[in-house]
Structure 1
Amino acid sequence: MTTDDALLPALEARVRARAHAGPSACPCGTATLADRPDTTVVRHAGTVAKAHAVDTGPAELALRVTAAARLTGVLLPPLAEAPFVLHGRLVTYWPYGEPVDPEDPDAAPWEAAAALLARLHRTPPPSPVPAMRGPVKAARAVGRLLDTAPHHPATAPVLAAWSALPAWARGEAPMPGPARLCHGDLHLGQLVRHPAPAGPWLLIDVDDLGTGVPAWDLARPAAWYACGLLPPDEWQRFLTAYRASEGPAVPSDGDPWPVLDVPARALTAQTAARAIARAAATDRPLDEVDLSLVDACARMASAAPQGPHC
């Protein structure tokens, strides 16, 4: 059994013991919520254990977990323990929250997500806190594409769109200021109701939390809207709620695209890079959504900036 093979059963044993004050034997089962090379998450009763990516820095993670504990009503608070190491991976404990139902798109909590983001962006960053990792993660996705599918026919337009971005959006230079507290990887999978199942919505996942350009947190839904993957009414619900909550990432009225353009382009390239890499790894053709992202990158590489050109 390799270290990676051993991680999941060890994590299950730890979360089972953490969930119960007495002996670990109990009638409730342990569920695997995610098991990817960069993240393993398991749940037992009301406790969730997350094994973070191998390259997660312990000092940075500790700062992000501490920040989450202080941001009451915005981020899901961690359980009391500090991160610990298990089979070479940093692990944190969290309370269970009820996630967004992917089978009920009409109930997507766009307004709640926008209000939480606006509140996060308005909050003075705790000191110290690392930089938001969004651009670095985007760069890693493009790097994986180069490693796994450099000759795929869809790779070239993604690289062209990526190379047209400013250095900060590619993780090669400091982000422009003024810096705000940012989530760094916002999508609907990053919201849960806590206490489950009907408590208020809260943001989860602190791996990319930090200071940076707040428009990055609006960029994924903006990119989906621009590429035709998010209906216009849902995008307007999100943007209107963010502005109503006095979010500072975009102007309070008027055209938001001069601010959103670069982050939305970066998220489009990142998402396309991941899609191509996944398809290449499983030797399957790109699906309709994948192709729409690649087509968007092809248009981005030649389009003028500052507009929803996907």
Structure 2
Amino acid sequence: MTTDALLPALKARVRETAHARTPACPCGAATATATLADRPDATVVRHAGTVAKAHAADADPAGLSRRVTVAARLPGVLLPPLAPAPVLLHGRLVTYWPYGAPVDPEDPDAAPWEAAASLLARLHRTTPPTAVPAMRGPAKAAQALARLRDTAPHHPATAPVRAAWAALPAWARGEGTMPDTTTLCHGDLHLGQLIRHPAPEGPWLLIDVDDLGTGVPAWDLARPAAWYACGLLPPDEWHRFLTAYRASGGPAVPADGDPWPALDVPARALTAQTAARAVTKAARADRPLDEVERTLVDACARMATVRPSAPRS
């Protein structure tokens, strides 16, 4: 959550930025400043067509600046920022972005799987700029497992999740160098990372550069792959996504044949990460796991008994 001072200051800054962009901005109820997210890793507010994001307290200034620069250089793939570099506000790095219309969570049939896959393929085919940091996906997964260990060490679901995590290679646990350091990756791909800009009918673009960097491109396919493997994503939606990625020349998987040797380790890591977050959330709320959460934990229990596939060279 934010400090007491950050949220009102962030709202004031986003209003100032919005009015500078559009001096005639009407400040009625329809343009009230809204809080879109308020989590330890991000506080996001919106005023009219402008969004301000306060990044995690431990965000690296140089790394975030480089990631924002990448977004500015890849219009049509990533949402371009409104300012070239983060600014500091109450000890947090803040970036400014144009507003875009998100995916409608109430309309799963309209999920833009093809657009997500095509954007990923284009990102993965882009030559990374010099000095872009490593993709942070494995590091974020490791944080989720650390929170599980600290929050719910004795929860009955903790042991199978940690066992599945321990079976992964070191790089997938954020403890070693990734085997691919030449591919530009998003690092945290899910449908919440897509928006239409200009809203509401503009083209789909990727947002959120906090984890962007060089690494294993299969990580960006791993969340939908994991949900498909767990039976939580319908096969037709998974195949739409995979087919569109391949059709767009994405390098994370072979152009045809079995994609799983490339996807297995990242999909296992995302399953463990998602399960760890679910168990942590349930433990903090002092409630039993729901059906989806139990499915993820059961998948971890199975994963712990079968070694991950080695990717084909």
**TM-score normalized by structure 1?**
0.96
Letter in 1 for 2:154: H
* SS of residue paired to 2:217: coil
Q: Are residue 110 (structure 1) and residue 109 (structure 2) matched? A: no
Q: 62, 65, 69: which one pairs with 1:66?
A: 69
Task: Determine the structure 2 residue equivalent to 1:45.
Answer: 48
Which consecutive unaligned segments of at least 5 residues does structure 1 have? none
The 5 Å alignment of 1:16-165 reads 16-21=15-20, 22=23, 26-27=27-28, 28-165=31-168
1:201 matched to 2:198? The reply is no
Comparing 2-11 with 136-145, greater Cα deviation is found at 2-11
Residue 188 (structure 2) pairs with residue 189 (structure 1): no
Supply the distance in 2 between the matched residues of 1:81 and 1:298 (Cα, whole angstroms): 45
Q: How does 1:228-239 map to 2 (within 5 A)?
A: 228-239=231-242
Q: Which residue of 1 aligns with 2:6?
A: 7
Deviation by residue 1:118-148 (Cα, 9 ceiling, x = unmatched): 0000000011200000000000000010111
Check the 8 A contact 1:17/1:23 in 2, yes or no: no
Given that 1:158 and 1:294 are in contact with CA atoms closer than 8 Å, whether structure 2 keeps it comes out as yes
Alignment partners' CA distance in 2, 1:191 and 1:131: 22
The CA deviation string for residues 34-76 of structure 1, in whole angstroms up to 9 with x for no partner, is: 1111111000000000000011000000000001000111000
Deviation of 1:3 (Å): 6.7
Counterpart of 1:42 in 2: which secondary structure? strand
3-state SS of 1:246 partner:
coil
Instruction: State the one-letter code of the partner of 2:104.
Output: D
Task: Give the drift of 1:80.
Answer: 2.2
Aligned twin of 1:286: 289
What is the deviation of 1:175? 0.1
2:2/2:39 contact within 8 Å kept: no
Equivalent AA in structure 2 for residue 241 of structure 1 = A
Moved more, 172-181 or 245-254: 172-181
Contact 1:3–1:87 at 8 Å: present in 2 too?
no
Using the TM superposition, name which of 78-87 and 282-291 deviates more.
78-87
Q: Do the aligned partners of residues 31 and 3 (structure 1) sit closer, same or farther apart at CA in structure 2, a change above 3 Å counting?
A: closer
- Once the two structures are TM-superposed, the CA of residue 25 in structure 1 deviates from its matched residue by 8.1
Whole-angstrom distance in 1 between the partners of 2:199 and 2:25: 23
**Map of 2:271 onto structure 1:** 268
Greater shift, 177-186 or 21-30, is seen at 21-30
Q: Which runs of 5+ in 2 are unaligned?
A: none
Q: Deviations over 1:173-214 (max 9, x none)?
A: 000025300000000000000011000000000000000000
In 2, Cα distance between the equivalents of 1:204 and 1:251? 26
Partners of 2:308 and 2:143 in 1: CA distance: 23
Aligned-residue CA RMSD (Å)? 1.5
> Relative to structure 1, is the Cα distance of residues 3 and 288 closer, same or farther in structure 2, using a 3 angstrom cutoff?
closer
Note the C-alpha offset of 1:304: 4.0
Identity %: 80
Aligned to 1:295: 298
Q: How many residues align?
A: 306
- Tell me which amino acid in the other structure corresponds to 1:32: T
The one-letter code of the counterpart of 1:7 is L
TM norm structure 2:
0.95
Secondary structure, in 3 states, of the residue corresponding to 1:159? helix
Matched to 1:30, the amino acid is: T
Instruction: Output the CA distance in 1 between the equivalents of 2:219 and 2:67.
Output: 18
Which one-letter code corresponds to 2:51 in the other structure? V
